Chain A
Amino acid sequence: MDTRKDKFPHGIPGHNLSEIEREIPIEEPPAWPINKELKVIGKRVSRIDAHDKVTGKAKFTSDMKLPGMLYAKMLRSNVPHAEITGIDISKAKSLPGVHAIHLIENAPKEGEENKGSKYPMVKYAGQPLGGVAAESLEIAKDAIKLIEVNYQIKPFVIDMEKAMEIGAPIVFDVPIEQQADGGDVGEVHDGSKGKGNVRGPSTSSFFGGPRGDLAKGFEEAEVVVENTYRTQVHTHMPLETHGVVVDWKTDVMTVYASTQNTANVRNEMASIFNLPKSKVRVVCEYMGGGFGAKHSAGSYGPMAANLAKKTGRPVWLMLDRKEEHIAEGNRPSSIQYLKIGAKKDGTLTGIQQRSHGTAGVGLGAGVGRIAQVLYPCPNFATEQYDVLTNAGPGAAWRAPGNVQGAFGLEQAIDELAEKLNKDPLEYRDLIDKSEVRKVERQRGAALFNWSRRQPAGSGKGVVRKGLGVGQSTWPRFVTLDSSVEIKIHNDGGVEVRSSVQDIGTGTKTILAQVVAEEMGLQVKDIKVNIGDTFFPVGPGSGGSVVTGSITPPTRNATFEAKKELLKLVAKKWETDSSELFIKDGKVGHKNDAKLNMAFKEATKLMRTSQISKTASRSDDYGGFQQPWGLAFGDLGSVQFAEVSVNTDTGFVKVDKIVAAHSCGRPLNTGQLESQINGGVIQGVSYALYENRVIDKATGHMVNANVDQYKVPFSMEIPEIETLIVEEYSARSSTDAYGIGEPANIATAAAIANAVYNAIGVRIYEIPITPSSILKALKKVS
């Protein structure tokens, strides 16, 4: 491939900024300088779709109303484990206003336990069994109530530790495959290994397998910390539930979907209905939150399509709040055993981790790879087991596994620091080799005023203050199948097209910024048309991949389109196009100030209506880490927490969080702050409030609503200060990465460490409730 050499900014401004030479594809644009020398990038640019959001004009999937549209409702099992012996739909069918009923039938496979049955085996309360399409949602709901399902009940198990016992009811007595939307990343969980409900273990990841010799490591250790940490199951609860509107016309099936991944929903629907991808169109203009759970078409997607097929009419199928909680994903629980050994000087000698978690009927309940990679340690091994229970399947939830893992690891590191008589922050300076986290610790500690921290439990009085810290890392994932089209229209309009969706992170706006910066225009001049699979395929919004994957091809395609336009101007001016540039909406000449032309005038020189350029994500400059293909570097963060613990009531209040983060080149300060605030608040919620409660006697979730499923509202929001550290690594034409996952990883650990600092007793389980505090203080038993 033709390449050229170019110099790029490298390092952290104000710390170690320098330059680095990279060999890059010859057609890619020259290096951008650091943000302070750019006009649009890195600035606080208003979200381009904010106007529609604040006026109520933004149309979400749930707001769609198409001519002739029917409303659908899912039929769900009301028992947690059973064989279905019959379903009687006769009463529902004759209800006026009902147009179609579709039941999910078993696709018998050799080796499956109910291969002879007409219907699939019920494995959890709330499992989808069918659906009804009717004139109104009320009629559809009435019809669901009229359907009679006959079950042959089987024993079931909800509690994870019970499920691990010998003789426990078996959830699946056959090997199962990895759920498509499982929680953990980077590791295919093998459901065929293991015994009973305990499957696995998974022992390796994209960071490799076990390292060194654990026995030797612990032999060398002079100080050892050994504990078991527990985290709960919690659900995503996006405000807009999962759902679709399917409009199946003769030649094309259009699926309006509340999804984080239009391309994946298209692929699933095309595959299920045996259609070419060209005849399935998935559209998502606005979506009301996903947090990892909305990558798939689910069962509601095919259900709506089947009902649309049966009725010949568009079908609206959005889940209700209860369905959302019970069936559409959750962050799996964990019971993590962690043993860390160190020498007296603090050097880590061994880390051993063993975890069990339940993703219900799904797999993927690992605790991530944070213990494997955050601190270099020569001897490391992990065993991560999935425990099957009769509950709804887990799904990726913002930094899958790592949030659970950080809760254990970062508390253990704190304990180790205490045993070594070291300040937790200073100890991390010693064992953490990351340059960006070093800067985050320094700047964060100054902003947070870490030096006021007192020894654990030294406070007096009823309400005791505590300060704590937690760290995180997240890989720089890149999706190479990320493409974008840039169009310059002959009236001066500039358009961006991709299937990539904006799930509320601000993707539309950063794409407009990238194009505006490269094209020398303003953000308002750029029209962003994304979230439509009729456009080039973009990445799914998961794993913080979007910014790092789609902004480089966006810049590259813009650069190509600009070059084409400048050639036309060069021809008119009888000069070389390489002498021309666009700045502030005008084409100019480097050596002749008299030559200039408005951008809009320049576009009139086009012979066709548009210049169109499509680009796909190229390899990172310098390639990827092998053998897993991860980008070099990581997304590091350090979060500081200040809490008040009322020792009489046990009530914990988070007063303040300082969140120091890196995401390569920051693109939009306001949006980054928003995402970090959100990650922190979800972390507060995870640490103190949320908990999915399933009744062990019936298998039903008892808090499948908003009022009893505790999350923070405005009164519980701490003061949050965000600190974004620019970090240039010269790996792509934008050198920018996401922040979605990193923002959520360290918070619960930082809070747990702060609670320990406040009361001098460590809490090993979240959510940290008033009852757990009072128990820790031995005020109640």
Chain B
Amino acid sequence: MENKKQKGESKPTKGISRRSFIRGAGLSTAGSVLMTTNAFALDYKEQLVTGKEFGPDAMTIKMKVNGITKSLSVEPRTTLASALRDHLELTGTKVVCDRGSCSACTVYLDGEPVNSCMLSVLDVGEKEVTTIEGIAKNGELHPVQQAFIEHDASQCGYCTPGMVMSCVHLVDNNPAPDLEDVKKATRGNLCRCGTYPHVFKATLDASKKTI
């Protein structure tokens, strides 16, 4: 499970992008207090960096979010998190640290968790974005969401969307996670209220109810 978020490094491109700067700064995301190198943003190949220049003015792009293709006008410096929150009003995705160290902004790109604050919206390209708003299907909660409610796995609720995204990804990809798996899946998710014990319980409970 651990490696799901840790794929090989892509070749850096020329110039300084927000992403390569962050990589240079050596920040980690999941497990920021562990000695792991785990920057979600490393997984993704450049989509649009082909010697072409963009910006600084806004440009119109298309992006598939929660199954619907949206058109939006963004400056190239816009992060995916900002595009979701400020342009598409999908504010479930939260920005807390804005530098890939708290996982509050976790969304999926083609089903894989990424820190949306660390990704240029132009780099999303053809990949499909799933946000917390896209986890419940037709009004039916995912078993993890249901278990979060039953086990009181949210206090203030600000980390909850990111926490749910990490736990849903675990439960959907590991049929029988144990406590250690849950801890690893959420090791980049900061919860300042200290709700972790209930998050662990809820996720383990949800995994038993998921086929």
Contact = CB atoms under 8 A, between A and B. Distances in A.
Interface string B101-134: 1101000000000000000000000000001110
B155 A675 contact: yes
Contacts, number: 187
Interface in A705-739: 705-707, 710-717, 720
Contact of B33 (A137, A506, A673, A710): A710
B114 to A, nearest CB: 16
Interface in A41-72: 44, 46-47, 49-60, 62-63, 65
Contacts of B196: 677, 681, 714, 717
A289 B190 contact: no
B104 to A, nearest CB: 6
Nearest to A316: B86
B131 A680 contact: no
Contact of B156 (A62, A138, A240, A714): A240
Nearest to A58: B157
Contacts of A321: 96-99
B144 to A, nearest CB: 8
Nearest to B134: A56
A677 B92 contact: no
A342 interface: no
B189 interface: yes
Contacts of A56: 90-93, 131-133, 161
B183 A715 contact: yes
A657 to B, nearest CB: 10
B27 A707 contact: yes
B152 A46 contact: yes
B183 A717 contact: yes
B185 to A, nearest CB: 8
Given A239-B190, A706-B32, A713-B32, A677 B198 contact: yes
Nearest to B196: A717
A428 B187 CA distance: 38
B199 to A, nearest CB: 8
Contacts of B95: 62
A237 interface: yes
A288 B156 contact: yes
B99 A705 contact: yes
A746 B197 CA distance: 19
Question: Which residue, of A46, A53, A136, has the highest number of chain B Cβ atoms within 10 A?
Answer: A53
Contacts of A384: none
B43 interface: no
B99 A707 contact: yes
B98 A707 contact: no
B77 A63 contact: no
B152 A50 contact: yes
B145 A237 contact: no
Contacts of A238: 156, 158, 192
Contact of A720 (B131, B132, B159, B197): B197
Contacts of B160: 53-54
B194 A677 contact: yes
Contacts of B164: 54
Interface in A682-705: 682, 689, 705
A674 interface: yes
Contacts of B182: 714
Nearest to B147: A54
A665 B164 CA distance: 32
Interface in B6-36: 27-28, 31-34
Contacts of B34: 713, 715
Interface string A657-676: 00000000000001101110
Contacts of A52: 157
A53 B154 contact: yes
Contact of A503 (B77, B97, B156): B156
A239 B194 contact: no
Nearest to B145: A54
B64 interface: no
A706 B96 contact: yes
A679 interface: yes
Nearest to A679: B194
Nearest to B164: A54
Nearest to A51: B149
A682 B85 CA distance: 29
A504 B158 CA distance: 9
Nearest to A683: B194
A55 B142 CA distance: 10
B178 interface: no
Interface string B138-171: 0001000100111110111111110010000000
A673 B198 contact: yes
Nearest to B26: A707
Contacts of A138: 75, 77
A237 B154 CA distance: 17
A90 B188 CA distance: 43
A316 B192 CA distance: 24
By Cβ-Cβ distance, the 7 closest A-B pairs, closest first, are A56-B92, A504-B156, A681-B194, A288-B158, A678-B194, A56-B132, A53-B157
25 contacts: A54-B145, A54-B160, A54-B164, A55-B135, A56-B92, A59-B91, A62-B95, A239-B102, A240-B96, A288-B156, A670-B151, A670-B198, A677-B197, A682-B192, A705-B97, A706-B97, A706-B101, A706-B190, A707-B28, A707-B97, A713-B32, A713-B34, A713-B187, A715-B33, A717-B197
Given A60-B158, A504-B155, A714-B196, 11 more contacts: A54-B164, A55-B133, A62-B91, A62-B94, A240-B94, A289-B155, A680-B194, A706-B99, A707-B99, A707-B101, A716-B33
Interface of A: 44, 46-47, 49-60, 62-63, 65, 136-138, 237-240, 286-289, 291, 320-321, 503-506, 670-671, 673-675, 677-682, 689, 705-707, 710-717, 720
